[in-house]
Amino acid sequence: MTRAFLIECSGAIWSTIADHLTRTHGWDISLWTGAAADRDVVLARFRETHFVANTDAALDLGETAWPKAIVDALLLSRLSPVEGTAIRMMDRLDLAATFTHADRYAHFLDLVRTWAGALDHYHPDVVVFSNAPHVIFDYVLYALCQMRGIPTPMFERHGLPGWVFLQQSIEGPPLRGYSDAPLPAVYDKWLSVSMAGGKSAIPPNFQKKAARYKLNSGNASLFRALVFECSRAAYLFKRYGFAGPANSYLRSPRTGERASWLETEAARFAAIFRKRHLARVLARLTSLPLDNEPYVLLALHYQPERATLPMSGLYGDQLLVIDLLSRLLPPGWKLYVKEHPWQLQPFSRGEMCRNAAFYRRIAAHANVRLLPMAVDSAPLIAGAKAIATGTGSMGWQGLCLGIPALVFGAAWYRTCPGVFEIKSAQDIEMALATIASGGAAPSPKQIRCYLSMVAESCIPGVLEPDVEATGGLDLDRAATGMADALAATQH
């Protein structure tokens, strides 16, 4: 029997996956973390499983069903490579910039005690993550598993909704190789649209989110943002009263536990005005692209999100990436930097990872041009010498147009022809020299053969049904396939 944890596994599809794992493959699900709304369903179907809500786990709330581990200097020294990333990830818990470094470090220690204790108590054979761990508690657990040699399979997606692939860690191993096999029709259509510069290269979760908030025409007005927030506040108060919403990660600076309804709404209303202020700061620092100016295009990632932390590692610090590129660009080249369209939307939590100094530091580089958010990305991509990104879809969109990419993180396409994987300053120097000489552009045939290999490596599946436009995907069949893929990792 395989003893397993399911971590950050929410929604009906994961209940079906778990059911298939237990009935068909003999797994024992000892511990499960998921959405708070899933608790009753999970415990009704898996009576011996201990369930913890993701948000409770992230905030380390409540008593655990296991004794907490003793943490000493030896353990912390082995965890030191991940400590900084975990502390920076805590931006997503921060309520109005009140989570101090000292409090974050104390929270990190608490999470180590809790999740090292869980491993000591249950002795799992495998710890399954729905995708790259990024809600801090799961990242700490992942690091402990890696340290102990416990397998950590997780799913990842590319830009085509309804398809996923399995990997053994955040870093991979990456998809590699080429295939001359014909592309499946759905992949062929996706590639054709991407090569034409269409919106298929835009992440499907962002497409769906933009449609949900009717943002395809630009930023929401102040009036609309305030009306939305008022209606949201009324709904949450009716459902939860003065207690914080059960699905909230936000930490109260007053109690160290989940932020109350009043604290949360006060912070969200303040954030609307803060993001409008940041948008004005950004606008004052921007300038339009110039004709015939050679440039590398860097599209900033939305933060806080897993695309940067943990998937870009130390390059999750986008100011570090900008500084490196600025220093190493060939003479006469510019770095064009464009903010993510979701970062300063009133419905986002983008204020957690931006301030005025962030934009001023970018603009201070003489060879860096901050672009207005309204500038169309499609011609920018088509005219770039290269695309620089952590894990973003814009890198893939550029490759589809024959534009090379400098990839700083664990992007699904990072082994594709035309990609330079960046680990060091020397990698950037070599990549830019090759690109300047004209020897790096991928051909359409190379892209097609690479994508054919990717298609052969993927299975039907979904990571977040609520935010992925999966169309006609048969969720029960997908769940069975995902369960079989997980079970195969233990043979």
Kindly report, residue by residue over 62-79, the tens digit of the pLDDT: 999 999 999 999 999 999
Mean confidence (pLDDT) of the chain: 94
Q: Is residue 266 part of a domain?
A: yes
Q: Is residue 437 part of a domain?
A: yes
Domain that holds residue 205: 186-449
Q: Is residue 170 part of a domain?
A: no
For residue 326, pLDDT over 50 is answered with: yes
Alpha helices (H) in 393-491, listed in sequence order: 393-400, 425-436, 444-457, 475-488
* CATH number of the domain within which 106 lies: 3.40.50
19 and 85: one domain?
yes
384 and 474: one domain?
no
Q: Is residue 323 part of a domain?
A: yes
pLDDT reported for residue 203 = 60
357 and 478: one domain?
no
| Distances from the Cα of 296 to the Cα of 88, 186, 299, angstroms | 27, 31, 10
Kindly report, residue by residue over 18-43, the tens digit of the pLDDT: 999 999 999 999 999 999 999 999 99
| Distances from the Cα of 349 to the Cα of 61, 133, 302, angstroms | 22, 19, 9
127 and 234: one domain?
no
Q: Is residue 405 part of a domain?
A: yes
379 and 433: one domain?
yes
141 and 227: one domain?
no
116 and 265: one domain?
no
pLDDT reported for residue 206 = 63
pLDDT reported for residue 201 = 47
> Which whole number is the average pLDDT over 136-145?
98
Q: Which residues does 412 contact at the CB level (< 8 Å), separation at least 6?
A: 156, 157, 158, 165, 174, 175, 391, 454
Kindly report, residue by residue over 201-250, the tens digit of the pLDDT: 456 566 666 666 666 555 678 898 899 899 999 999 999 999 888 899 99
* Distance (Å, whole) CA 111 – CA 141: 8
8 and 147: one domain?
yes
443 and 478: one domain?
no
pLDDT reported for residue 113 = 98
199 and 239: one domain?
yes
Q: Is residue 277 part of a domain?
A: yes
Two structure tokens written together for 144: 């402990």
CA-nearest of 236, 407, 454 to 313 is: 407
Q: With bands split at pLDDT 50, 70 and 90, how would you rate the model's confidence at 491? A: confident
306 and 360: one domain?
yes
Q: Is residue 177 part of a domain?
A: no
* CATH number of the domain within which 413 lies: 3.40.50.2000
130 and 233: one domain?
no
Cβ neighbours, 10 Å, residue 256: 15
User: Per the structure, how many domains does the chain have?
Assistant: 2
Q: Is residue 174 part of a domain?
A: no
pLDDT reported for residue 467 = 73
pLDDT reported for residue 316 = 97
